[in-house]
Chain A
């Protein structure tokens, strides 16, 4: 078997693979069992399967009301807030820290924006900017306590959660719901009148997919030219087909109802770029993997930690503003489940609570699972009680898998 691989490696592209072949010996790689694959490259499969199973169950149980464009469009709008909060939480989780204050901070930022817009008549852009800046400041302060004083993030952000909840009650001054009238603010999250026109709704995602495929192909060509090992063609093609099917499928689905929601997708794309294509993103993973190794490599660990907490709170405010926009109001009552749903989405998707492992795409799967549960149970007229119990069980399962995988990796690692 190992000889076969060797032969393949040397005969595949004799001229180009020279430099790689001198160092890289694939036969050194112990043959991976299915279990190991599931813990590594194919780690998303069980999550994806869970999602499919959940979708099928609800589709049948609800009598065909789950997998229709109208409901799926709602579902995506519903998870936009969870996913955005989860995006920030994921950055913090990658460091091996936690942020319990995301939802409170997100609501606080939305309240600041709402008050400026509704009570003081600030223009939308100014109200939004100041709201986001307030979030950034709050995250920066969290970061200072955690990174400089090295206090446990659990306690610092718990204190922040309670404190900022009080602050937003004070700001709202007893008002339970603050209605927002500004049409621009109400339009960002994608209310029925703010979806992109159909040509942009179809055109932009298609352009993004085309750029993605172009990028993958260019990378492949460049790698081959540089004499590096390239991935087999079937893998590339499978990957591209999957992306095209998923994106275009989603577009067709949304266009059949109201249109394509776009604000959260853009955020995900940005964070994905930061995490995978910049040294800042690389350093986040490094600090999460081994803070000491990162420090010795000359990375300013303190600065990275502060930056990540700032970014997390900023994203939380963006999530809060999206929620306010969707509901055209800010409520003083913080959704008690949102925090756990945000952390849950990340962990269910496969972001490790111990730091250093996880990606942006895992959040989408996790958020879809949580959103499907909430949405599907609502379709079945399930009670809040049932929904919470099921959600709790799924989360526990995800954390268990994370811990077991970690232990298994520690065993086979060396």
Chain B
């Protein structure tokens, strides 16, 4: 088991020019008369962090739900490693190695870290009792691979900080051998130090060769950690930026649809609070 993580890492060498790990093509989704997504393409490569940004109602959540299987699209194609796949439900996406970490993290506060990581898929000894020692070892391995530090893996999750809890939620998806991880607002409601922690962990995920998608309102965080930014506006993909060759201002204007900086000022407070 120890080699499990490292061996998958070896296979997942970044391939910026090859086939994307996950590719969506021509995704459409309507809720009644409202077109939430119109012909949206999306791609994320192995060993890459993509930031998915957009104003409220731009379609970020709808797109994530299409990938995670919670809300399958009306039409469009999804490819995993170039192979067409049909994601009809959350179990399907989990089975394909696509893990979504939602904002509420879905942890059981009363259980310790080990119990939470293995919840629903506990390892058992031949006599069907829990094999705690082995689970604890695996927990330590996974947390170390993410460079996460906590007081003890036997503390209830309740007593951990927000950043540590986020790390536990991500570690949970790693344990399931995820190849694509979707993070929904991973730094919302976190303090400065904890945000650092989580961003550091996202880099570790990328270094392990995973394809990472980060949905965030906080452009400062996005610019610190992602490689590419994909901007949605009113259900359409309007822009893609390489982070190295762009500025937050340009991303903001793509989000708001403003062609000049002037409009930005007016909207600045709610959409681009992180620019400073």
Contact = CB atoms under 8 A, between A and B. Distances in A.
Contacts of B109: 289-290, 356, 413
B108 interface: yes
A29 B151 contact: yes
B128 interface: yes
Contacts of B130: 277-279, 282
Contacts of B133: 219, 222-223, 226, 228
B140 A414 contact: no
Interface stretch (B4-12, B117-125, B262-270): B117-125
A151 interface: no
A285 B137 CA distance: 22
28 contacts: A19-B137, A23-B153, A24-B140, A24-B152, A24-B153, A25-B151, A26-B151, A26-B152, A29-B151, A219-B133, A228-B133, A277-B129, A278-B129, A279-B122, A279-B124, A282-B119, A282-B122, A282-B130, A283-B119, A285-B111, A286-B119, A288-B110, A290-B109, A299-B120, A356-B109, A409-B158, A413-B158, A413-B159
Nearest to A22: B144
Interface string A224-265: 001111000000000000000000000000000000000000
Interface string B141-157: 10110001111110100
A290 B111 CA distance: 10
A199 interface: no
Given A222-B133, A290-B107, A413-B159, A24 B122 contact: no
A219 B137 CA distance: 14
Interface in B202-244: none
B121 A289 contact: no
Interface string A399-414: 0000000000100111
A288 B141 CA distance: 28
Interface residues of B, number: 37
Nearest to A354: B110
B interface secondary structure, majority: loop
A22 B140 contact: yes
A336 to B, nearest CB: 33
Interface string A13-44: 00000011011111111000000000000000
A293 B137 contact: no
Given A29-B155, A277-B129, A294-B119, A23 B148 contact: yes
Interface of B: 90-91, 104, 106-111, 115, 119-122, 124, 128-130, 133-134, 136-137, 140-141, 143-144, 148-153, 155, 158-159, 161-162
Contacts of B153: 23-24
A3 to B, nearest CB: 16
B124 A285 contact: no
B83 to A, nearest CB: 24
A26 B159 CA distance: 13
Contacts of A277: 129-130
Given A19-B137, A226-B137, A414-B161, A286 B151 contact: no
A229 B148 CA distance: 17
B150 A294 contact: no
Contacts of B155: 29
Contact of B110 (A28, A297, A357): A357
A23 B155 CA distance: 13
Given A290-B106, A290-B107, A19 B140 contact: yes
A227 B122 CA distance: 20
**Residue with the greatest number of chain B CB neighbours at <10 A, chosen from A23, A285, A414:** A23
Contacts of B91: 298
A297 B119 contact: yes
A19 B153 CA distance: 12
A327 interface: no
Contacts of A222: 133
A292 interface: yes
Given A25-B149, A283-B120, 14 more contacts: A19-B141, A23-B144, A23-B153, A26-B151, A28-B151, A226-B137, A228-B133, A289-B109, A290-B106, A293-B108, A299-B119, A356-B108, A356-B109, A413-B158
Contacts of A409: 158
B140 A23 contact: yes
Contact of A228 (B90, B107, B136, B143): B136
A25 B153 CA distance: 10
A229 B155 CA distance: 13
A150 interface: no
A282 B155 CA distance: 15
Contact of B140 (A20, A282, A286, A296): A20
A163 B119 CA distance: 38
Contact of B120 (A28, A289, A292, A294): A294
Given A297-B120, A413-B158, A414-B161, A228 B137 contact: yes
Contacts of B124: 279
A91 to B, nearest CB: 15
A298 B158 CA distance: 21
A19 B108 contact: no
B119 A19 contact: no
